[in-house]
Amino acid sequence: MKIRLSTGKLLPIEMYKIKIVQETSLPPVAQRQQTITDAGFNTFLLRTRDIFLDMLTDSGTNAMSDRQLSAMMVADDAYAGSESFYRLADAVRDVLGFQFVMPVHQGRAAEHLLAKTFVKPGDLVLMNYHFTTSKAHIDLAGGKVLELFGDGALQTQSDNPFKGNMDLARLAAAIEQNGRERIAYIRMEATTNLIGGQPFSMENLREVHALASNFNIPLVLDGSLISENAYFIQQREAEFAGHSVSEIILEMMSHVDIFYMSGRKSAAARGGLIATNRQELHNRILPWLPVYEGFATYGGMSTKEIEAMAVGLREMTAQSVASSSADFIAYFVNRLVEEGVPVVTPAGGLACHLDARRFIPQVPQQQYPAGALAAAIFLTSGVRGMERGTLSTDRDADGNDVMAEMELVRLAFPRRVYTMSHIEYTVDRLKWLFAHRDLIGGLRFVDEPPVLRFFFGRLEATSPWPQALAEAFRADFGEDC
Ligand SMILES: Cc1ncc(COP(=O)(O)O)c(C=O)c1O
């Protein structure tokens, strides 16, 4: 939520009180240099105790509400027929409008089941943009992803409110050129993660749905950040200005054949789900649920988390909840723009995204600029971000690096976890780093896994730049900062 100050300025404001906290500490710069080196310059391999502010992801890290925690206490641990499942099914019906729901242990499990059920070797899945795990499951099933984003979607400096829109002309052409039979489904991602959490509009969703229905192609919506996309529709699409987040979500769902989500984001619980009103689609997926996840009434989730997800689904429709991260991210992004630090605009749904190409143009893509920038940010601030660029893209079949279309470092802003002073601290350190950007160099692999290499890959600096950066930092801030 934003509140208007007497000066007229709009300030994002916390619509909650903090009741339980986790302590954090800021290790000195020498220790940060050591830990990022030991972690192979991969922020995934850092430990919590070495991190000051953890902005790796909003997945499973949003603060839960008192109502979610209390709901966990009434969880029913039956293997089959758990009452917790029926409370989830009620929430899915009320909030999303779907009759059939299958819990899964997290979002990628839903992606696995969908790929397993609908993708045959040689098939295509058409998307507004891919996400790492969704693409991996389609590739593993022998399919291929075609991304049909619009002009300007990849421009990092923009005022396009809906960079997540699918290009309808490209969609129509892809169906015509490849034939309906080759297309397993169309997937729309609510706030496209890898291009900066950018939303799609309702108008675009309606049009994609109309085209998909004409050809009888199922439209699948990845709604991991559904409430944030709905909030952006309310704020940015004139037709929806006076509508509630609930109304917008229900209309979105009316255009969708299959909905799935990682419950770890908008719903603030560790789980996921697949939902639909089409019984025949549900019946095709259901047999695989106990094979890969668990029985239909728990799907690999703890029943405590099922209860929390049921409450989280209802809570995400509150204006104060749907807007929480988005408003602070917008503040974060605007502060960096004021300081001249290159970020993705307009602000998106899950994080503030730095544009590594504009930040450190001297580092070639072959040396993973976004990975190097994520390491440099950790070294100078203790803030952990995530590389979203070439490192997050696996090699092609011939073993060549596939250069990503964007080189981003994402500083996620988990909902209701960090405060304004955390943002101001991070802005200050990023401003310092940008002024010293010439000191940052590249990275190269020393140990590279064959799939989703960004999770476990280890790298080293291509020159002693981390040392030079740490020395410059010490000269300005002293040993202990
Ligand atoms: C858009 C999107 N889809 C799917 C997933 C995968 O979900 P999970 O991490 O719960 O497996 C994520 C995770 O970040 C995501 O952002």
Identity of the residue numbered 106: Q
Mention every residue, 6+ apart, whose C-beta is less than 8 A from residue 411: 55, 332, 351, 352, 353, 354, 377, 383, 385, 426
- Phi-psi label, residue 129: left if phi above 0, alpha if psi -120 to 50, beta otherwise: beta
* C-alpha span between 305 and 290 (Å, rounded): 18
Q: How far is the CA of 430 from the centre of ligand 1 (A)?
A: 27
* Residue 361, helix vs strand vs coil: coil
The preferred substitution site among 224, 261, 264, 388 for testing ligand 1, maximizing ligand atoms within 8 Å of CB, is 224
pLDDT at 31: 98
Predicted local confidence at residue 432, as pLDDT:
98
Cα within 13 Å of Cα(283), Cβ side: 3
Q: Which amino acid makes up residue 202?
A: M
Q: What is the pLDDT of residue 187?
A: 98
Q: Which residues 6+ apart lie within 8 Å of 3 measured at CB?
A: 10, 11, 13
Per the CB < 8 A criterion, the answer to whether 364 and 453 are in contact is: no
Q: Is 32 in the pocket of ligand 1 (CB under 6 A)?
A: no
Gap between the Cα atoms of 137 and 119, Å rounded = 9
d(CA 227, CA 155): 24
Distance from Cα 371 to the centre of ligand 1, integer Å: 20
Please provide the distance, in angstroms rounded to a whole number, between the alpha carbons at the two ends of the chain: 33
DSSP code, position 249 = H
CA 293 from centre of chain = 22
Distance CA 92, CA 84 (A): 12
Distance 470 CA to ligand 1 centre (A): 34
Question: 245 to each of 99, 227, 241, how far by Cα in Å?
Answer: 20, 7, 10
E strands, 300-451, in order:
351-355, 383-384, 386-388, 408-412, 443-447
E strand or H helix at 331: helix 324-338
What pTM was estimated for this model as a whole?
0.96
Question: In whole angstroms, what is the distance from residue 416 CA to residue 188 CA?
Answer: 27
Rounded Cα gap, residues 408 and 358, in angstroms: 10
Which is the closest atom of ligand 1 to the Cα of 262? 10
| Residues 200 and 127 sit within 8 Å (Cβ to Cβ) | no
* 111 CA: nearest ligand 1 atom: 4
Beta bridge partners of 462: none
**pLDDT score of 476:** 98
Atom of ligand 1 nearest to the CA of 190: 1
Alpha carbon nearest to ligand 1 atom 8, residue: 107
Give CA torsion, residues 306, 308, 309, 311, to 10 deg. 130
The length of the chain in residues reads: 481
Q: Is residue 132 in contact with ligand 1, taking CB distance under 6 Å?
A: no
Report which secondary-structure segment, H or E, holds 89: helix 83-91
58 touches ligand 1 (CB under 6 Å): no
Which three-class secondary structure string do you get for 171-208?
HHHHHHHHCHHHEEEEEEECCEHHHCCECCCHHHHHHH
State which of 106, 111, 262 you would mutate to test the pocket of ligand 1, scoring each by most atoms of that ligand within 8 A of its C-beta: 262
Closest of 222, 215, 226 to residue 266, by C-alpha: 226
In whole angstroms, what is the distance from residue 103 CA to residue 447 CA?
36
Please give the Cα distance from 288 to 308 (Å, whole number).
25
pLDDT at residue 189 in the model: 98
Residue 32 and residue 380: Cα distance in Å, rounded?
8
C-alpha triplet 220, 172, 252: angle, nearest 5°: 35
Q: From CA 1, how far away is CA 297, in angstroms rounded?
A: 36
191 lines ligand 1 (CB under 6 A): no
- Ligand 1 atom 7: residue of nearest CA: 107
189 CB under 6 A from ligand 1? yes
Task: Outline where 345-448 has alpha helix (H).
Answer: 356-359, 369-381, 420-435
Q: Is 106 in the pocket of ligand 1 (CB under 6 A)?
A: yes
Distance from the CA of 464 to the center of ligand 1, in angstroms?
35
39: alpha, beta or left? (left if phi > 0; alpha if psi -120 to 50): alpha
In whole angstroms, what is the distance from residue 478 CA to residue 481 CA?
6
- Cα separation, 80 vs 290, in Å, equals 11
pLDDT at 209: 98
d(CA 226, CA 223): 4
C-alpha–C-alpha distance, residues 434 and 376, integer Å: 10
Please list the active-site residues: 79, 131-132, 222, 265, 388, 454
Per-10-residue mean pLDDT for the chain, 481 residues long? 96 96 97 98 98 97 98 98 98 98 98 98 98 96 98 96 98 98 98 96 98 98 98 98 98 98 98 98 98 98 98 98 98 98 97 98 98 98 97 94 96 97 98 98 97 97 98 96 93
Residue 353, phi then psi, degrees to nearest 5: -110, 125
- CA 439 to CA 362: how far, in whole Å? 10
